[in-house]
Structure 1
Amino acid sequence: MTPTRVRLVRLRTALLALTLAVLVVSLWAFHSVQNTAETVRDRTSQAVLEVTAARAALVAADAAAVASFASGEAKLAGPGQEYANQLALASQSLARVAEFNQAGEDGGNALQVVESQVAAYSGSIGQADVHFRQPDAAVLGAVDLWHASRLLHAPGGVLEELEALQGRQRDALDRQLSSTGMSLPLLPLWLLPVLALLVLLVLTQLYLKKRFRRVANVPLLAATVLVTAIGAALVFTLISRDRLDSVGERLDGVAAARGGQIQAADDAGQRRLADLLTEYCDEEQGCGFTADEFRSKARQTTTVATDNTRVATAGVKAVAADASDAAESGGREFLIPAGTLLAGGLVLLGLHARIDEYRYRR
């Protein structure tokens, strides 16, 4: 075998090996980012949003029930339609959290605790309704209402558990983003096989031009164009991964906006509950240390209600848009394997004739 043929065979082997490396790295990068993006879009971001929605609905339900009992409407309509609607919304959100849960077994256990507490809360509100309708049992109704509210607000209660669960879902998002092992600062590392293949393709064409005095090798030129396109696809894949970071930032913004609304609505509802309890407390002995402490704290809250509905709504839409953009494949799932395999075929075609010229030379 002549030295030229040996050199050509070695070039072909090196080009095919690098083509295989480009195929493996590019497909791994694409599927890693794509799977994470789809999970974030379809499950993780939804889980975080639904937890915040459940918290808001439960606070609104509690405030509506207190308002109904405080105004006397409960004697005719019970806790009220608003209470029923908000409690139904909270139940729907909790069901979706269970469906989208990304916090593993801890998240599932927390959901079970929350659902049992919500059921107990609903039972206490129903019992308060029964007592408030009885002429001589209004005090018992106030006690039931106080007990129901404590199920939501006490340490370890529903709202605290939901806030912890929201944190777990948000942590799950961070773990998913870090698990891809890809980011724009690492772009040169992931592009290394592509760059190496491009350099070798250019050197091979220069060698063939010098050795065989041909103007250009069309198959190798076409392979170079394809590999360049694959490199561009890999860059867009990493840019998509970078968009996922903005999803987390958007979720934090939505959580902050809704958190402000939740706190303001909750403070208003708790102040109203404190006023209601005062009506049934003994003027000299009070309501007991725990209830008196609650009334004192509730009346001291001065949270200013701000309408962050537009901010929260815009944030939810932005989360959906960023997550959808990150999960948009742009056909790269077909371009990468088809383009790489075609480039390998063009490499074989471009070198076959030159190698064949030296098949029988010694």
Structure 2
Amino acid sequence: MSLPPHSIRQSHPAALTTKKYGINKKELLKACLSREYLLMKRNNFAYIFELAQLTIMAIITMTVFLRTQMSRDDVTDGGIYIGALFFGITVILFNGFAELNMTIAALPVFYKQRDLLFYPAGAFSLPSWILKIPISIMEVAVWVFVTYYVIGFDPNVKRLFRQYLLLVILNQVASGLFRFLAAAGRDVIVTNTCGSFALLVLMVLGGFVLSREDVKKWWIWGYWISPLMYGQNALAANEFLGKQWRDVPPNSTEPLGVLVLKSRGFFPQAYWYWIGVGALFGYMFLFNGLYTLALGFLKALGKPKAVISEEAINESSNDLSSDGAAQSPTSSSSMRKGSDQEARDDSSIPTSFYHL
């Protein structure tokens, strides 16, 4: 029995493809890490601008919630401190919103390279997550270390670093959430709409705008799955179970901090801080995992097309016309000389040549 002309048995083993990608996944991850780091250095203005914006907002915030005007006499005063905590969480949450447009801008190139089997989705998603962790640490450090003691939170340094740790994790949760929404939406309009709706739901069901007792029964599931709820409960427990809030007011048997927590529907147990940390860690891995899955299984919306705007066409035509006008005297004289030379050359050719 004769073998087919291109039999696998007769082919050299080095000519056969045995792997989906050209190199192993570890080398692919290193290459994508280097590329992402290079892109971050090129776009460092965006990160510097975010850091400057966060610094200005921290300075404004610490002048609004100034400790010289903040007392700890009753439950109403505690509500002001909860408002300061909620505002800090909101700022950190909105800081992750910038990942929407940055991820959307990177998707067209990613889809093309993924379809050409340059690298898997995980090699693209992990660098965008890992390399943003130092930026989150820096941004949250600016916010916490500028505002904490000026606002007048509990002076215990351990509680300072607890708040710092929780806000770093919350910033990573927000970044992972908006990256996932960008990869799932794949369109600027769709993604911004979904991102704004997600912010609305997170803020309303976070435990401050609506306390746990005020949430309707058919929406209570949204309260329990909201990452902002766990962050708000953890920060409130970290602050109001401190030494500054242990005074027992008249006609009460409980410390003032516990009364403040119960008045807003928060849990007055100290272990709720660690529950919040664990829940936010879980959400961080969940959203980044969903981001990777969305990159791996979803396709680009529509077909990529090479499009040039009308303004660019008009600009290029104007440049060509101006160049042509500048070269018109020389070109016209050269054209006349060329035509005269061609006429002389044609006259020297015998007439019989054209009839061959």
Structures share fold, TM-score greater than 0.5: no
Higher percent of residues as helix: 1
Higher RCO, 1 vs 2 (CA within 8 Å, ≥6 residues apart): 1
